[in-house]
Chains A and B, each alone.
Chain A
Amino acid sequence: MKTLVLVEHDNASVKDATLHTVTAAAKLGEVHLLVAGSGCAAVADAAAKIASVAKVHLAEDASLANQLPENVAPLVVALMADHDAFLASATTTGKNIAPRVAALLDVMQISDIIALDGPNSFTRPIYAGNAIAKVKTSDKKLVITVRGTAFDKAATEGGSATIETVSGGMAESGLASFVSAELAISERPELTGAKVIVSGGRGLGSGDNYRELIDPLADKLGAAVGASRAAVDAGYVPNDYQVGQTGKIVAPDVYIAIGISGAIQHLAGMKDSKTIIAINKDEDAPIFQVADIGLVADLFQAVPELTQKL
């Protein structure tokens, strides 16, 4: 089987999410990558070095600069004439583009897979991870999104794929245009790839408390920072902090949940973490049912003490 993986990038470097997806694609067959963008030859060079990649398709056009699905999907559809499966990461970029490709190919997408059970059988979580479904598709071509935490990263060195320049299938749809982006800039590790995450919830009471208590602990541990939906809805931190069913899915070595009660929608985003630590003053909080180590305490005293003693 020949697979085509959408490379996520910022026209400069390959995002880690893609490395997980390459590992899933390699289980299906030969791995080809699509680098679609503008002025992104360096991305293609880096992509060609990823282990187990056979070919990189480089599509450069001004219309592809911002990964608008209206422009990217027709390009993918054209390339799918020579591929059997299209895989994208289950990120906001992949989730935006892949279903558009699937519909144009008349294929029913398999979303958010966590395992491959056979050439057309896959495992995926449903109901916020409260149930696990094994599904088999009858479609001839496959369109799949991949949950990164379920697959290891492919090595960024060791491959020597050929780079083929795509010449057709690129056009401005005239339907949509990019206006602006407000992207968070942080010195801290990215949430989805971090080894340690410190996450704060409604128990913190305010954005100021979040920054006074969570940030110093995260900085001391070199950790990424996250939040529950309640903390994001309350405006303590921006949306890109959110861990959960509809936010980011994370699986760090250590997840420290502070002032988070543990709604099922939050647990869906972090319960595959290796070790979960919870600090909460309510000993009946559901977070303690999944925590490996729990501390029932007032976070306003416990967290500064923890930061100081570590």
Chain B
Amino acid sequence: MKILVPVKRVLDFNLKPRVKADGSGVDLANVKQSMNPFDEIAVEEAIRLKEKGVATEIVAISIGEAKAQDTLRTALAMGADRAILVTHDGVAEPLAVAKILKAIADEEQPGLIILGKQAIDDDSNQTGQMLAALLGWAQGTFASKVEVSGEAVNVTREVDGGLETVALKLPAIITTDLRLNEPRYASLPNIMKAKAKPLTQKSPADYGVDMTPRHETLNVSEPPKRQAGIKVASVDELVAKLKALGVSA
């Protein structure tokens, strides 16, 4: 089967975001941007399914500015076979992204689409579920284990109370949680080889999708700062402080 893996270029997870002074957003000029960590897990899972002989082809997709090509090259270097870049400058909301992905899925007819459960920039946690709705497919969100057997996939999900396993009819949507796998690093030879892998450029108009945002960002600000407090020198002092707070056995 074919697997589609949408990936997003976001502020590198090691960097602390800086809010712009004019309140218009987070400053992304001249800062390192990388693949969303949950999407790396999605790419890795697709590659493992290919290594097991379950998948035959992996197509990485990104919707965003031209530089998202770097993110797609990373996916190709990890092991994806080809890539589609849908170039769009400006905000790409989850609903619009899901509509583009639906159009691509209609063309490509994949057996699975694996997405990160959320992007660490807008923390929306929507695209996979929306795509499942638009395609009329089953969804296994927050996956920590994926087992494909025949025409179905069993997905173990990390839920608030523990773990839950659901059986989904294929084709299906999976969104990844942190403990699904540990993504590999691309080796230098594979990074070189990725440069020759096919990358198709498209636009939202090619898929007939209107990118006009539904949300208007009125203001982005820093969260209220917590003041660092005091240090106590001993457990006895800590016990006294805790008792003053009403915390004791």
Contact = CB atoms under 8 A, between A and B. Distances in A.
Nearest to A279: B238
Nearest to A102: B130
Contacts of B138: 70, 173, 175-176
B139 A309 contact: no
A109 B124 contact: yes
A239 B248 contact: no
B167 A239 contact: no
B230 A138 contact: no
A306 B235 contact: yes
Interface string A120-158: 010001111111111111110000000000000000000
A310 B249 contact: yes
Most buried by A among B130, B140, B222: B130
Interface stretch (B42-50, B60-68, B74-82, B156-164): B156-164
A175 B137 contact: yes
Interface in B51-105: 93-95, 98
B235 A309 contact: yes
Contacts of A46: none
Interface string A235-273: 000111000011010000110000000001100000100
B2 interface: no
Given A92-B158, A126-B122, A134-B218, A239 B245 contact: no
Contact of B123 (A101, A111, A181): A111
Contacts of B39: none
B162 A130 contact: no
Contacts of B178: 229, 233, 246
Would you call the interface of chain B mostly helix, strand, loop, or mixed? mixed
Interface residues on B, range: 35 or more
A181 B94 contact: no
B123 A112 contact: yes
B166 interface: yes
B162 A302 contact: no
A202 interface: no
Interface in A87-130: 91-93, 95-104, 106-112, 121, 125-130
Nearest to B178: A246
A81 interface: no
A254 B247 contact: yes
A305 B235 CA distance: 7
A182 B162 contact: yes
A302 B236 CA distance: 10
Contacts of A214: none
Contact of A183 (B26, B162, B222, B226): B162
Contact of A295 (B127, B238, B245): B238
A296 B232 CA distance: 8
A68 B165 CA distance: 11
A309 B217 CA distance: 51
B220 interface: yes
Contact of B162 (A68, A233, A239, A305): A239
B93 A221 contact: no
A22 interface: no
A271 to B, nearest CB: 6
Contact of A179 (B132, B165, B221, B234): B165
Interface string A278-291: 01000100001111
A174 interface: yes
Contact of A127 (B95, B123, B132): B123
Most buried by B among A106, A254, A309: A309
A220 B239 CA distance: 13
Interface stretch (B113-121, B191-199, B201-209): B113-121
A201 interface: no
The 5 closest A-B pairs by CB, nearest first: A292-B229, A99-B129, A103-B130, A108-B214, A103-B133
Given A136-B218, A176-B138, A182-B162, 8 more contacts: A99-B94, A100-B129, A112-B125, A130-B223, A131-B222, A220-B249, A238-B162, A248-B160
Interface of A: 68-70, 73, 91-93, 95-104, 106-112, 121, 125-139, 173-184, 192, 196, 220-221, 229, 232-233, 238-240, 245-246, 248, 253-254, 264-265, 271, 275-277, 279, 283, 288-297, 302, 305-306, 309-310
13 contacts: A99-B127, A106-B95, A121-B218, A132-B221, A138-B215, A220-B249, A233-B178, A239-B144, A271-B226, A283-B231, A288-B231, A293-B241, A309-B236
Interface of B: 11, 13, 16-17, 19, 26, 93-95, 98, 117-118, 120-134, 136-142, 144, 154, 157-169, 172, 177-179, 213-223, 226, 228-232, 234-239, 241-243, 245, 247-249
